[in-house]
Structure 1
Amino acid sequence: MIQTALSGLTRTAYLVMGFQVKVKGKVASLPEAPIFVAAPHSSFFDAIICALTGMPSIVTRAENLSTPVFGTILSSLQPVAVSRQDPDSRKNTVAEITRRALSRGQWPQILIFPEGTCTNRSCLITFKQGAFVPRVPVQPVLLRYPNKLDTVTWTWQGYSFKELCIMTLCQIFTRLEVEFLPVHVPTEEEKNDPILFANRVRQTMANALNVPITDHTFEDCRLMISAGQLTLPMEAGLVEFTKISKKLNLKWNHVREQLDTFAAIASASKGGRIGIEEFAEYLKLPISDVLRELFLLFDRNGDGTIDFREYVIGLSILCNPANTEETIRMAFKLFDMDEDGTITEDEFASIIQSALGLPELDVSVLFKEIDADETGKLSYEEFKNFALKHPEYATLFTTYLDLQRHQLGLEEEDRTNALPELLLVTASSRGMTIQRSANPWRETSIF
């Protein structure tokens, strides 16, 4: 009774605001589809779907419950509120969605906007897995606003809630089309893989909408905001977070920390990208053939610059795996030529000069940065702390380790497993020649 009354009031409110709503397709019953998935999500006006589907429970961000008028309607629907800042909230939300979806009629149907944020409807971004974890049939719901003047899109850095309401009310009418697609019953393969389930539903909806799909998510929006706060172009934060986080097992907080370092290196004049000059300046090393090789390992598309996505992938694949305690300790021992437990500037210089092929290189500035206590000698802790803070040097360390292992005749399987054989080294006791292989990461397609 209450749901029927709320549905009628909601329809009336939209009619008063001038909305002309056209509905296509048939709404699935609770036994047919416990969950509705609606996209593209672009506005608070999308709440009309609630009235069209019998006022189901809705999954929404907690902030939406305080929105005037619309928040009151949402609060009456026994919503599942999501806090984007609380990491446990997401896990609890999925558990609650699953509990309700499997309740066999004890709860109403659930309406979910799987994109998790508002977009401009030009594409479908990555669907969150919450609607697909319960492994129950879902009904895709499409939204279209076929108006000449867009007064409804509520995206970040766009018009405010108040401005959109005023502009929409100033229109004689606002068209809205809602289409209910056939219920998608998951296969056994999809039941065992929520990501596959979500991707196939998204592709079905994208085909019906005739729009492309993209792997960007709300986490990319958060990185864009952070990039802007760091005086980088906001687009610098776009890394397709979901894709690289799954491939490289990265957490958002870790990527956010890497953005700080990237911002310290990148030049705003190059569109938030790192050029060879900035790369050399950050490492406090001159531009040389070896440094160019290291730069090319990061510059995956070969455009002469490193963007933030390339920087994150480079650190994760090339540097961080090689920057282990064992590698650092072994490098320290090999730098420490007289085995007195410290590295002098002369010892440090001889290795760096050999690794870079620059016998006249002045490394005093770099040495002083590592020498935190200014004793003129590097302790293991100083060396380790610097290596962990600057993983970009890992390939220089592993190059020197490869040189020494070659001289000692160690077996191939003892080489650092984290890096592919990028540098083929032949050496004598006083010098070395580096034969560089092609960059195997340049052609990879997994990212």
Structure 2
Amino acid sequence: MRFPKRRRHAAVEEDASEMSARFRNPFVHELKFTLLQKIKIGLMTVTLLPFRLFLAAFWMLLAWPFAFVATVGRADNTVEPVSWRWLVDLALKAIMRAMWFSGGFHWVRVKGQPALPSEAPILTLAPHSSYFDAIPVTMTMASIVMKAESKDIPVWGTLIKFIRPVFVSRSDPDSRRKTVEEIKRRACSGGEWPQIMIFPEGTCTNRSCLITFKPGAFIPGVPVQPVVLRYLNEMDTISWTWRGPGAFKILWLTLCQLNNRLEIEYLPTYTPSEEEKSDPALFATNVRRLMAKALDTPITDYSFEDCQLAMVQGPLRLPGNTCLLEFARLARRLGLKAGLSDEVLQEQGGRARKLWGDKLGLADFAQCINLPVTNMLQDMFDMFDEHGTGQVDIREYVIALSMVYRPFKGLDTIKLGFRMYEAEEAGGVTEEDLSVVLRSTLGLTDLETSRMFTVLDSAHRGRITFEEFEQFVERCPDFVDRYLLSSGSSQPSCPVITPPPVSSNGFCTDFSPHDQQHSHTNNHTPTDNKKVN
């Protein structure tokens, strides 16, 4: 399995050679420290860290009574006229700024001119990479979209309620629609309500690119002001991704930095055209492109849903350089996951087995999965055409589709692979077949499986069964690192990473209605039991 040819349909909109050098998996963040850096962190941990934690707690507790008094008796669905509460607003801004200062954010540079609520009722912020992205929220006291459960958190919940957030309830199936309606109501109030800050990516990334924007912020069709964030420290202790340091480790490492630099830039207000007002996805795409240009950062069609692959744990935890993230993007855009189920995958596996290794050209491949030939389908085809022969084995496609559909059931995908490759008369799979199954499952190329196969095939039959493989995984859960990657034989087949129902790891929840997500739907069930002519 390999990365597709970028000349046809780039996932990242820039020159292919530049993209290969710069692009990283946006849902993975790896920190590596030199010996000197480790010594510095150790010293800061026993000296500066306790002092900063004490001050941060002090400032937050000091802010609580101000927020509590200001929220007593205040209605949630109406905005009160300007009153004494603006004094509380100023006090809280000062207190929260002191809290961030005590945490090492000594100077926060602000560029550009913030728009008035009447000019841009919605602020779109990106990239979203950490809970430290709350800094611009506390500096402006703008409203945000948050999970309803947040308001019940002691101290923090009171501070949250002061900024009049729009709450999304997990228990209410109609909550997303209500949230969009509430945002529309506030956005069309002529500036009476505070501005709403929204992180349209819907989840945290490592800031290597801008992923797909959710359309929720753009459904009201009102002018928005894009705001870009830049963390300028040489060592990135800020990013909080699905695979990487956890929330507490990020807090520890960041507070151990002597100074943390943040730049907030307000871009000119973006007024949507009539076409963009009627098409929130187009509106979101154009705003994202504008923000990416300001950041000098590539954009990619990877989305919040794709981050599930980065959450996989256990024996079949995917390597950082897996091509399955790109395959998942293409599968989502082509509508291949719509209507997919375990039963459909088993049916596809049975049909692929009957082809028994017959190679398919692009037209046959398209007919087999019931899709027209397009540039995007060509990209997917290229991923399995490793040798550039113009032919692929449909079984590899079924394995990859199974893995991206059910990433937390890797052994079920392996079992499906064994079923498609094992010979009925002999039983089990050969070393070559095992290599193909594992390459397609992990999204890698040129895996060296001989050492592992020798251990598995203790009877020297030249074949192993799925039961034998399953028992081996139970005995050696780290087999991927120990047997497949440790020798360095598996070279990255996708752009290299230098150096887990899913909910967002950002502090602002996604609220975009499901029917507003842009997708193509197709019937993807293979249409014949034999090779298509």
* TM-score, reference length from structure 2: 0.50
Whether 1:4 aligns to 2:96 is no
8 Å contact kept, 2:362–2:381 = no
Tell whether the 8 Å contact from 2:120 to 2:224 is kept in structure 1 after alignment: yes
One-letter code aligned to 1:248: G
1:300 to 381, 385, 395: 381
Matches within 5 A, 1:163-182: 163-182=249-268
SS at 1:97 equivalent: helix
For structure 2, list consecutive stretches of 5 or more residues without a partner in the other structure. Answer: 1-85, 370-379, 387-391, 406-522
- AA partner of residue 287 (structure 2): V
Q: Which residue of 1 aligns with 2:178?
A: 92
Cross-structure match for 1:233 = 318
Deviation at 1:94, TM superposition (A): 1.8
Residue correspondence of structure 1 range 428-447 to structure 2 within 5 A: 436=533
**Change over 3 Å in CA distance of 1:140–1:279 after alignment to 2:** same
Q: What amino acid is aligned across from residue 32 of structure 1 in structure 2?
A: E
> Residue 47 and residue 102 in structure 1: after superposition, are their counterparts in 2 closer, same or farther (change >3 A)?
same
Distance change >3 Å, CA 199–CA 230, structure 1 → 2 = farther
Percent pairwise identity: 44
Unpaired runs of 5+ in structure 1?
Answer: 266-277, 316-389, 400-422, 424-435, 437-447
Over 3 Å counting, the alpha-carbon distance change for 1:307 and 1:207 in structure 2 is farther
Q: CA deviation at 1:230?
A: 9.2
Give a deviation string over 1:151-178, Cα, whole Å, max 9, x none. 1111112222221122111111100000
Bigger-Rg structure (1/2): 1
**Aligned residue runs from structure 1 range 389-400, under 5 A:** 394-396=527-529
What's the secondary structure of 1:178's corresponding residue? strand
Q: Distance in 2 between matches of 1:309 and 1:202?
A: 33
Which letter does structure 2 place at the counterpart of 1:22? R
Q: 1:228 to 1:95 in 2, by over 3 A?
A: farther
* Alignment partner, residue 212 of structure 2: 126
Q: Which amino acid aligns with 2:138?
A: A
Counterpart AA for 1:7: K
Of 213, 221, 230, the match for 2:307: 221
Kindly indicate whether residue 122 of structure 2 is the aligned counterpart of residue 35 of structure 1. yes
Letter in 1 for 2:335: L
> Could you tell me how far 1:284 is from its partner in structure 2?
5.2
**Is the contact between residue 56 and residue 108 of structure 1 (CA under 8 Å) also seen in structure 2?**
yes
Q: Deviations over 1:77-125 (max 9, x none)?
A: 2222346797643333222211221123342110000000011001001
- Which 4+ residue blocks in structure 1 deviate beyond 4 angstroms? 61-72, 83-87, 227-230, 234-237, 239-247, 278-282, 288-299, 307-312, 390-393
Partner of residue 197 from structure 1, selected from 283, 287, 305: 283
Structure 1 residue 183 corresponds to structure 2 residue 261: no
Asked whether the 8 Å contact 1:65–1:75 carries over to 2, the reply is yes
Q: Secondary structure at the match of 1:238?
A: helix
Tell me which amino acid in the other structure corresponds to 1:38: L
Partner Cα distance (1:392, 1:110) in 2: 43
**Cα distance in 1, alignment partners of residues 365 and 112 from structure 2:** 55
1:48 counterpart residue number: 135
Would you say the 8 A contact 1:126–1:214 is kept in 2? yes
Does 2:369 align with 1:283?
A: no
One-letter amino acid of the counterpart of residue 101, structure 2: L
What amino acid is the match of 1:57? S
**Which one-letter code corresponds to 2:240 in the other structure?**
W
**Could you say if the C-alpha distance between residues 281 and 4 of structure 1 is closer, same or farther in structure 2, counting changes exceeding 3 Å?**
same
Matching residue of 1:156: 242
Counterpart CA distance in 1 for 2:301 and 2:398 is 16
Indicate if the aligned counterparts of 1:300 and 1:310 stay in contact, CA closer than 8 A: no
Q: How does 1:369-408 map to 2 (within 5 A)?
A: 394-396=527-529
The DSSP-based 3-state class of the residue aligned with 2:118 is coil
CA distance in 1, matches of 2:336, 2:358: 33
Alpha carbons 2:187, 2:222 under 8 Å: kept = yes
Instruction: Report the CA distance between 1:139 and its aligned residue.
Output: 0.5
In 2: Cα distance, 1:108 partner to 1:292 partner: 54
Question: 8 Å contact 1:40–1:119 — kept in the other structure?
Answer: yes
What TM-score does the superposition give when structure 1 sets the normalisation length?
Answer: 0.58
Q: Report the Cα distance in structure 1 between the residues aligned to 2:118 and 2:157, rounded to whole angstroms.
A: 28
Q: Distance in 2 between matches of 1:6 and 1:184?
A: 30
Distance 2:262 2:154 in 1: 21
Aligned residues: 305
Aligned to 1:59: 145
For 1:26 and 1:224, the matched residues in 2 are separated by: 37
Structure 1 residues 393 and 107: alpha-carbon distance in aligned structure 2, compared to 1, 3 A threshold: closer
- State the distance in 1 between where 2:172 and 2:309 align: 17
Partner of 1:108: 194
Counterparts of 1:23 and 1:309 in 2: how far apart (Å)? Answer: 49
* Paired residues of 1:38 and 1:140 also in contact (CA < 8 A): yes
Query: Do residues 21 (structure 1) and 91 (structure 2) align?
Result: no
Give the structure 2 partner of residue 442 of structure 1.
Answer: none
Query: How far apart in 2 are the matches of 1:165 and 1:178?
Result: 20
Q: Deviations over 1:208-263 (max 9, x none)?
A: 000000111111113554x6579463757636768755653965xx45x36x976x
Q: CA deviation at 1:282?
A: 6.1
Within 5 Å, give how 1:311-350 maps onto structure 2: 311=401
Structure 1 residue 50: Cα displacement = 1.2
Identify the range of structure 1 (126-135 vs 290-299) with the bigger mean alpha-carbon deviation. Answer: 290-299
Partner AA of 2:279 in structure 1: D
SS in 2 for 1:131: helix
Which of these residues, 335, 351, 357, is aligned with residue 248 of structure 1? 335
> If each structure's strand is expressed as a fraction of its own residues, which one has the higher value?
1
Q: Is contact 1:236-1:308 (8 Å) kept? A: no
Could you tell me how far 1:45 is from its partner in structure 2? Answer: 0.6
- Give how far 1:7 is off: 1.5
Q: How far apart are the structure 2 equivalents of 1:4 and 1:183?
A: 25
The question of whether the paired residues in 2 share the 8 Å contact of 1:238 and 1:309 is answered with no
C-alpha spacing 1:135/1:128, structure 2 compared with 1 (3 Å): same
Which amino acid letter does the alignment assign opposite residue 249 of structure 2? E
Q: Is the 1:215–1:240 contact (alpha carbons within 8 Å) kept by the matching residues of 2? A: no
Note closer, same or farther for the CA distance 1:160–1:71 as it changes in structure 2 (3 Å cut): farther
Identify the residue that residue 270 of structure 1 maps to in structure 2: none
Q: Tell me, in whole angstroms, the C-alpha distance in 2 between the residues paired with 1:73 and 1:140.
A: 25
User: Comparing both chains, which one has the higher relative contact order based on Cα–Cα distances under 8 Å and sequence gaps of 6 or more?
Assistant: 2
d(CA) in 2 for partners of 1:68 and 1:84?
Answer: 20
Give the counterpart letter for 1:120 in structure 2: N
CA drift of 1:396 comes to: 3.0
CA distance in 1: counterparts of 2:95 and 2:160, whole angstroms: 13
Do 2:121 and 2:222's aligned partners in 1 also have CA atoms closer than 8 Å?
yes
CA change 1:393–1:247 in 2 (3 A) is: closer
